[in-house]
Amino acid sequence: MDFNDLPLLPRLRQNVAASGYTNPTPIQRSAIPVVLDGRDLLGCAQTGTGKTAAFALPILQHLALEPIGGSRLPRALILTPTRELALQIGEQFEHFGKGLPVRCAVIFGGVNQNPQVEALKRGIDVLVACPGRLWDLMNQGFVALDKLEIFVLDEADRMLDMGFIHDVKRIIAKLPRQRQTLLFSATMPPEVEELALSLLKNPETVKVDPVSTPVEAIEQKLFYVDKANKKFLLAQLLSRPEVENCLVFSKTKHGADRIVRELKRAGIDADAIHGDKSQTARQRALSRFKSGESRVLVATDIAARGLDIAGLSHVINYDQPMEPEAYIHRIGRTGRAGKTGVAWSFCCVDELKQLNQVEKLIGKRLPSQEHNWPMEITTPSEPQPRMPRGERVAKVNRRGEAVVTKPQNKSASGKTPTHAQAPAGRAPAQRITIGGGGRVQPSGESRKQMPAPVRRVNSAHQARIKRADT
Ligand code: AMP
């Protein structure tokens, strides 16, 4: 089937062809006729399946074929959880809508509201919005949704995860009852099912790539590596010529910034994208990456959700994801819409549990890859209990390890305690030094101080045996 088999306007087909799409993806094939028919839709699809065009094309067609006169109030509303996703959806509406009498605006928080208010005042047909800012502008009287005909709730599961559901429900309560509703969600937890039941009337259900199925086109590899050596392995992998561009996933925002600093030290240009960055910085990082100016983008899970980067060659999971489902979302950034892609995952001893969860979810073991920094530390580090105020760690050293500054905690003899005398429940930080050949190894001194003997193994294979024991 190609796009000519779908009952789309010639102008839309032309714009689709200009994007380089030849065949509709499965969700487009199933959803476009349903939406054109005016029916409600429940779409179970993750990002990367082409779901944006699956709703944008029929919505544009409807608005273009049935223009209404008078004041230009929004006729279609797309609610989406993140600013990046809102901008990407807006871009697709602009692109597919070229040459059609349809106007679109995108609104989201974290930026000055005035340009958004101006766009609303000029009159629009399609409004793409994040719930917080939309609710805010509705309350200020800048958005009237009485003429709304089509409502799209995008990434419903993520809306719940991110705590937006309250705003979403308040907005829905203000929409006209007579409307067409489309709900998209990558997963179907009971809360989303409940929401779908309350919103959709006799919907058609379209399921594509349920979240527990990994994208088959993606070549997945696992690298067992000690935490302190991850940066060296990352720099080496990124220097491979086949890595055209790479999205690197970090568990935390600080971690993402640290990875960027370390890459820059290794002479690799990279940007970080996460929730603590300003909207301008995020946009700049994204456009540098999209234009090929920088090859590496380091992101947290939330910031990367929904990023649409065409032709991404590699994804690297620098840290294992906290939730196994995030693995699917992460690797779904590469190999999009039928393209091949590569996903490499790092795993240190403290992440074996998360790795097991990922492998359970995808129903297979990730093949491990030999490399220059095989995992050597196979004893998980002890959890660090929270310290009482006066003793709290105030600084980290250059290697990112905790350094206790005060008090000095002298023993009765006036000497600093040895490991055996360390405060109960708190193991001394394992110190490491940079050894020959750039390898990071425990120093002789710290080896003496380690809370438990460190068993050394020479290959990832042995590490896997250890994992099977746990
Ligand atoms: P989405 O799931 O809407 O975020 O789309 C994921 C990616 O697939 C985007 O980069 C689109 O440009 C691309 N895409 C969408 N539909 C098609 C298609 N029919 N053929 C090729 N690429 C597509």
- All domains of the chain in start order, with CATH: 3-207 (3.40.50.300), 218-362 (3.40.50.300)
pLDDT at 436: 31
Name the phi and psi angles at 344, rounded to 5.
-110, 135
CA 401 distance to own-chain centroid: 27
Cα 440 to ligand 1 centre (Å): 42
pLDDT of residue 385: 63
Q: How confident is the model at residue 467 (pLDDT cuts 50, 70, 90)?
A: low
What is the spatial distance between Cα 12 and Cα 31, in angstroms, rounded to a whole number? 16
The residues facing 432 across adjacent strands are 442
Q: Can you give the pLDDT at residue 354?
A: 95
* Mutate which of 308, 329, 334 for ligand 1 pocket (most atoms within 8 A of beta carbon): 308
Please state, for a pLDDT cut of 70, what percent of the chain lies above it.
Answer: 77
* Tens-place pLDDT, residues 307-349: 667 668 899 999 999 888 889 888 877 876 556 789 999 999 9
Ligand 1 in contact with 337 (CB < 6 A)? yes
Taking the centre of ligand 1 as the mean of its atom positions, its distance from the CA of residue 327, in whole angstroms, is 20
> 382 vs 74, 203, 225, 457, CA distance in Å?
55, 51, 18, 20
- DSSP conformational letter for 380: P
pLDDT of the residue at 338: 58
Q: Is 51 near ligand 1, meaning CB less than 6 Å away? A: yes
Burial class (CB within 10 angstroms; exposed 0-12, middle 13-18, buried 19+) of 10: exposed
Q: What is the pLDDT of residues 81-110, one digit of tens each?
A: 988 899 999 999 999 999 999 999 999 998
The pLDDT value given to residue 211: 42
Tens digit of each residue's pLDDT (9 = 90 or more) over 50-81: 899 999 999 999 999 987 777 789 999 999 99
pLDDT of 394 above 80: no
- Indicate whether residue 17 lines ligand 1 (CB < 6 A): no
Average the pLDDT over 143-147 and give the result: 94
Assess whether pLDDT exceeds 80 at residue 258: yes
Helices 165-172 and 131-139: crossing angle in degrees, nearest 10, is 50
pLDDT digits (tens, 9 = 90+) for 424-463: 333 333 333 333 333 334 333 333 333 333 334 444 445 4
The residue among 66 and 405 whose pLDDT is bigger is 66
Q: What is the pTM of this model?
A: 0.58
Q: Can you list the positions of beta strands (E) in 64-212?
A: 76-79, 104-107, 126-129, 150-153, 180-185, 204-207
Residue nearest to atom 20 of ligand 1 (CA): 21
Q: What is the mean pLDDT of residues 388-401?
A: 51
Q: What is the pLDDT of residue 427?
A: 35
Indicate the average pLDDT of the chain. Answer: 81
Collapsing DSSP to helix, strand or coil, 298 comes out as: strand
Adjacency order of strands within the sheet including 126-129: 104-107, 126-129, 76-79, 150-153, 180-185, 41-44, 204-207
Asked if residues 205 and 42 have their Cβ atoms less than 8 Å apart, the reply is yes
